[in-house]
A and B are shown apart, each in its own frame.
Chain A
């Protein structure tokens, strides 16, 4: 499974800079969005020269971009090309399949979390005996879709699923809390899916947040000390990967007898286990206060 980021998160930027930022973030690849201004026939050579880790290609529109050029690029780079199902609605599946098979490319038809749509497209693929060069890309929009049907959608699409495109994740991860992302990715894991997962901004308004997320390395927690040496720490705006460090750091500078009051958006039990693993026995007293469902509090007293 490769977690990747779409260049849609940083439109107009340099590819190697983008790839480098993704690397620093631990992302395993990038999805290259091809626009009407790109010269598709020369892209393969340019990408080879840039040595970036592209895992998939993407087009949102076919205006001014010949499909045959895209198929050849996909074949030359051995990378799948995904596009929204709607933009090829006027072309027969047989013709699409032939174009990509002849060029040695792979086409992934993007579908929404919509059971009727996925049933229609999988039936059409089966009835036309479409070769494996034509597969499916799941366009997953947790912020606006009902993921209640995602189990059935996964079951239907599973056999031809070559890509999952998640509109969100990254800096939008917390906004999608309770929208069904957790259970869906459990189902995806249990189904044995090992293909790419591409993150992409859910809407253009989110671009500044993605830019900040991609360029910042460390996020500092927002702790505030009280006069008594007590400390309040709200880690809800701290990235998950930086939370343990923030809390352990705050605990270590706490005077003896003082208490760290923590506010979180998840069950704080893991923080207890982190302290238990990292600190000498008998140096802290941990108390969980309340039990969600959206906000949790915990108190850590330094003994």
Chain B
């Protein structure tokens, strides 16, 4: 399937995390998307661990200094 990208830099603060979780929840098992952000989204990774334990893989594709890209994939069932 196509490489999905969510650029969260454009999304207003209050809607950022809901938008990321909505995108992730819409994926099928084994699918993923690239999250693009202007800072290291490490707290989000912890939030994923807390709310969706064992359901995702987190791979840094680019780590700053101005842009971060993380491939977030949904684990195969």
Chain A interface (Cβ < 8 Å from any Cβ of B): 1, 3, 23-26, 28, 166, 169, 173-174, 176-179, 181-183, 185-186, 189-190, 192-194, 197, 199, 240-242, 244-245, 264-267, 269-274, 276-277, 292, 294
Contacts and interface: CB of A to CB of B under 8 A. Distances in A.
A197 B12 contact: no
Contact of A182 (B15, B45, B66): B15
A174 B10 contact: no
A178 B12 contact: yes
A194 B33 CA distance: 12
B26 A3 contact: no
B2 A197 contact: no
Interface residues of B, number: 36
B47 interface: yes
Nearest to A276: B46
A199 B47 contact: no
A244 B37 CA distance: 13
Nearest to B49: A273
B76 interface: no
B10 A265 contact: no
Nearest to B9: A3
Going nearest first, the 7 A-B pairs with the smallest beta carbon separation are A182-B15, A26-B66, A273-B46, A192-B2, A273-B43, A189-B6, A177-B12
A92 to B, nearest CB: 34
A242 B23 CA distance: 24
Nearest to B20: A186
A266 B14 contact: yes
